[in-house]
């Protein structure tokens, strides 16, 4: 009769696979949001906006560090290295609108995925802090885009290409179709509040 320890090992390894994938998906978004938030500091239209970007970048870095520790525990690999490999070359963010679009699209994906996990009863305690952070990033980006839409006659000119690129990344980090459907519904609501089509 096999020992309990010996019989548990394969099950533990199986349990780690979906958890590792989930951490990698989250890490990819966190790395991309950190880049977008950092880039937005240089093109922030006001000092207050700049200060807000610095604070959100600091928060995002803290969340990324926590995710990286969990990923290392599960995989013995570097989250940053694996996330960079998934992301590849990212476009330079040359405007405030583009930076806010990237932040909104990616943070909203994290918010939707973790809210879905919470509804399913599978959202662990550390993930609740990530959910709160992502929700704050979504609100900040949505408000900035709404204001940009009011200030500029056609923010769409600079937003279409950025939306397509970052939307592809965000959708690629959502593993199942039900979560992607919830994400698209969230995008429709965000489009209404910002005045920018985020669904293409």
Query: Could you write out the DSSP letters of every residue in 60-123?
Result: HHHHHHHHHHHHHHHHSS-HHHHHHHHH-SPPP--SHHHHHHHHHHHHHHHHHHHHHHHHTT--
Cα separation values, 77 from 23, 138, 148, 168, Å: 12, 29, 40, 25
Q: What is the pTM of this model?
A: 0.82
Backbone angles phi, psi at 197, to 5 degrees: -70, 115
Least confident of 112-121, 153-162, 182-191: 153-162
In terms of pLDDT, which residue wins out, 31 or 193? 31
CA torsion, points 139, 141, 143, 147, in degrees to nearest 10? 180
Residues 192-196, mean pLDDT to the nearest whole number: 74
Residue 7: predicted pLDDT: 40
Higher-confidence residue of 28 and 190: namely: 28
Element (H or E) spanning 1, and its range? none
All domains in the chain, ordered by first residue: 16-194 (1.20.1260.10)
Instruction: Kindly tell me if the per-residue pLDDT of 14 is higher than 60.
Output: no
Predicted pLDDT at 162: 65
What mean pLDDT comes out for the span 135-142? 90
- Per-residue pLDDT, averaged over 164-191, amounts to 88
Nearest to 198 by CA among 113, 123, 98: 98
Question: Which pLDDT score, from 0 to 100, does residue 47 have?
Answer: 93
116 vs 15, residue with greater confidence: 116
In angstroms, the CA 70 to CA 73 distance is 5
pLDDT band at 200 (very low <50, low <70, confident <90, very high): low
Residue 152: which pLDDT band, with cuts at 50, 70 and 90? low
Q: Please state, in angstroms and rounded to a whole number, the distance separating the CA atoms of residues 56 and 34.
A: 8
Tens of pLDDT, residues 30-72: 999 998 888 889 888 899 999 999 998 999 999 999 999 999 9
């Amino acid at each position: 009769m096999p020992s309990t320890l010996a019989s548990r090992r394969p099950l533990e390894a199986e349990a780690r696979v979906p958890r590792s994938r989930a951490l990698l998906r989250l890490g990819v978004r966190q790395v991309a949001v950190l880049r977008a938030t950092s880039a937005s500091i240089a093109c922030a239209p006001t000092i207050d906006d700049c200060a807000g970007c610095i604070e959100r970048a600091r928060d995002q870095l803290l969340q990324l560090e926590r995710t990286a520790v969990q990923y290392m525990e599960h995989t013995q690999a570097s989250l940053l290295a694996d996330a960079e490999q998934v992301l590849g070359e990212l476009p330079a963010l040359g405007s405030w609108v583009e930076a806010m679009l990237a932040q909104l699209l990616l943070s909203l994906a994290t918010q939707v995925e973790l809210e879905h996990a919470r509804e399913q009863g599978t959202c662990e305690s550390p993930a609740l802090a990530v959910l709160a952070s992502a929700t704050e990033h979504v609100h900040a980006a949505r408000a900035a885009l709404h204001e940009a839409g009011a200030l500029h006659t056609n923010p769409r000119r600079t937003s279409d290409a950025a939306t397509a690129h970052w939307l592809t990344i965000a959708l690629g980090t959502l593993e199942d179709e039900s979560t992607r459907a919830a994400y698209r519904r969230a995008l429709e609501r965000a489009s209404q509040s910002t005045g920018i089509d985020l669904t293409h």
